[in-house]
Structure 1
Amino acid sequence: MPTLITYRTPIQEDWVDYNGHLRDAFYLLIFSYATDALMERIGLDADNRGQSGRSLFTLEAHINYLHEVKLGAQVWVQTQIIGFDQKRLHIYHSLHRAGFDEVLAGSEQMLLHVDLAGPKSAPFSASSSSSLQLLVDEQRELPTPEYVGRTIKLPGR
């Protein structure tokens, strides 16, 4: 099971702009919902967050807008774990739709596991670390996504 689908949605009318395209901000919203689903998958669901006082914060997010996404399109997010350590999680979300083989958009993100009482960084629980390692092992054969590790800069600088 290398492909981990974390979120599915139709594109809503209030998410599109005057050109009928998905607005920039709503790409991040969709990817944010996918992160929420990933959190549930690794044991950081609402009940666990309430009991442990631990959650994930987004430290950095890059979005690459690759192809048009229009009103009514049925889309889904695939999530790949790029890596993790004691407190951080590096992920890549890609946006897809049926009948189109190319990635519509991608979002590379760095997340931090946080003790909300601080708030301050905190190590993942053994259970979450185990769940993450299982996902990494399942996705081991996946290539590194093309847009991972990119920086924003003008050519020649």
Structure 2
Amino acid sequence: MPPRIYQTRVSADWVDYNGHLRDAYYLLIFSQAVDTLMDQIGLDAAGRAASGHSLFTLEAHINYLHEVKQDEPVDVRLHILGHDRKRLHLYLSLHREGREEAVAVSEQMLLHVDMSGPKSAPFSATTAARIAGLVKAQGELPKPEYAGRVMALPG
């Protein structure tokens, strides 16, 4: 299993009239997990201020697999599917605490940006090394079930 990167509890103001986590808050949780990743690779607040660089989300897909209710503790697991000089391809899975089955997944493409442009920019050597370290630490993982899916009506 991919490593846990973020944990939270479903807040009362995140649920809808059915008592389920609202669609937008799944993305909020995944976004907060990406913030944690940014901290780990040197793009925390201090790193962004010093370098003038950040990450922008280019594309995000979410699959809602199971409902999540108020006050449930959840965690996000990170699988780095790929990276190059400027981009990160991530697969994030949301789980009820202590359970292996994902309740939602998000595949995302992130771009490293020089904010003075803004324009795309290569990762610094330090950030690139940290990304490579995370990839090495995650080991060989199978391709996730929902990675690379295309949304379309059949036939």
Normalised to the residue count of structure 1, the TM-score between the two structures is 0.95
1:80 maps to 79
Distance 1:60 1:102 in 2: 24
- Alpha-carbon distance in structure 2 between the residues aligned to 1:119 and 1:9: 32
Distance in 2 (alpha carbons) for counterparts of 1:143 and 1:123: 28
Secondary structure (helix, strand or coil) at the match of 2:131 reads: helix
Shift of 1:97: 1.0
Say whether 1:36 aligns with 2:35. yes
1:9-49, CA deviations, whole angstroms, 9 ceiling, x for partnerless residues? 11000100000000000000000000000001111111010
What residue in structure 2 maps to residue 132 of structure 1? 131
State the SS of the aligned residue for 1:101.
Answer: coil
Distance of 2:37 and 2:94 partners within structure 1: 15
**Amino-acid identity (%):** 63
C-alpha change, 1:106 and 1:118, in structure 2 (3 Å) is same
Deviates more, 1:129-138 or 1:83-92: 129-138
Give the secondary structure class of the aligned counterpart of 2:100: strand
User: Post-superposition shift, 1:101?
Assistant: 3.0
| SS of alignment partner, residue 124 of structure 1 | coil
Measure how far apart 1:82 and its partner are.
Answer: 0.5
Stretches of structure 2 lacking an aligned partner (at least 5 in a row) = none
Change (3 A) 1:60 1:117: same
In 2: Cα distance, 1:120 partner to 1:114 partner:
5
Amino acid in the other structure paired with 1:53: G
- For residues 81 and 154 of structure 1, the distance between their equivalents in structure 2, rounded to whole angstroms, comes to 29
In the TM superposition, residue 3 of structure 1 has moved relative to its aligned partner by: 3.3
After superposition, where does 1:44-83 map in structure 2 within 5 Å?
44-83=43-82
Q: Residues 50-83 of structure 1, C-alpha deviation per residue, up to 9 Å, x if partnerless?
A: 0100000000000000011001100010111111
Structure 2 length normalisation: TM-score? 0.96
**Residue type at the aligned position of 2:26:** Y
What do residues 126-145 of structure 1 show as CA deviations (whole Å, max 9, x unaligned)?
01111111111122321111
The CA deviation at 1:100 is 3.7
**AA paired with 1:122?**
A
